[in-house]
Chains A and B, each alone.
Chain A
Amino acid sequence: EDKVVQSPLSLVVHEGDTVTLNCSYEVTNFRSLLWYKQEKKAPTFLFMLTSSGIEKKSGRLSSILDKKELFSILNITATQTGDSAVYLCAVFSGSARQLTFGSGTQLTVLP
């Protein structure tokens, strides 16, 4: 059974801090790992990672994948209150042909 584990489950920081969110996985026939941000409604796409060691960046957010150690991290620098959300990690595996989601990390950024 495919498994995706995120840590920490929740995190409270102050504006300006840098945070690192973790996602580890155990899946058969890994295809890609995806990060989503979920506020009040449906998740919005952040990154898709398929290759090890290649950092993807979008503004203050960046993410990298380690396929040898089976994990990914999502970094957010200079956090803002608007970054408060649940961050979901999901893995697409060829065997399941669907996304398996982690439990999410609830990030709260205080002013």
Chain B
Amino acid sequence: GAVVSQHPSWVICKSGTSVKIECRSLDFQATTMFWYRQFPKQSLMLMATSNEGSKATYEQGVEKDKFLINHASLTLSTLTVTSAHPEDSSFYICSARDPRGANTEAFFGQGTRLTVV
């Protein structure tokens, strides 16, 4: 089946630094990928929709200058948390849909646990 790979699975960084998270579709081309954030004991909150070759679409309340999304190829989207602060500590998950099928099942990456100290 389709596989989405996310890297790194966990990262600790100092406050003020930037962190890049990668999301790759391994056996299909994803023109659209989605980035979610999940707080402890809460559901997934959609942050933005990443579109290959164009600007990402951000959800209301998500700072586009803080969470930079780049979808430079059909198999790779990146989320960069710029000037990270402790409140950015969270679980970030990407997902993608395989456009070859008629279904709308989303495949998820393994998630990235970000801790900002």
Contact = CB atoms under 8 A, between A and B. Distances in A.
Contact-size category for A: 20 to 34
Contacts of A34: 104-106
A32 B103 CA distance: 8
Contacts of A42: 6, 93, 108-111
Interface residues of B, number: 22
Contacts of A48: 103-105
Main secondary structure of the interface of A (DSSP, over half): strand
Contacts, number: 52
B25 interface: no
A45 to B, nearest CB: 6
Interface stretch (B14-22, B43-51, B69-77, B82-90): B43-51
Contacts of B93: 42-43
Interface in A93-111: 97-104, 106
Nearest to A43: B108
Interface in A13-53: 31-32, 34, 36, 41-45, 48
Interface of B: 6, 9, 32, 34, 41-46, 49, 93, 95, 103-111
Q: Which 10 A-B pairs have the closest CB atoms?
A: A42-B108, A92-B104, A42-B111, A103-B43, A104-B43, A101-B43, A32-B104, A101-B44, A41-B111, A42-B93
Interface of A: 31-32, 34, 36, 41-45, 48, 88, 90, 92, 97-104, 106
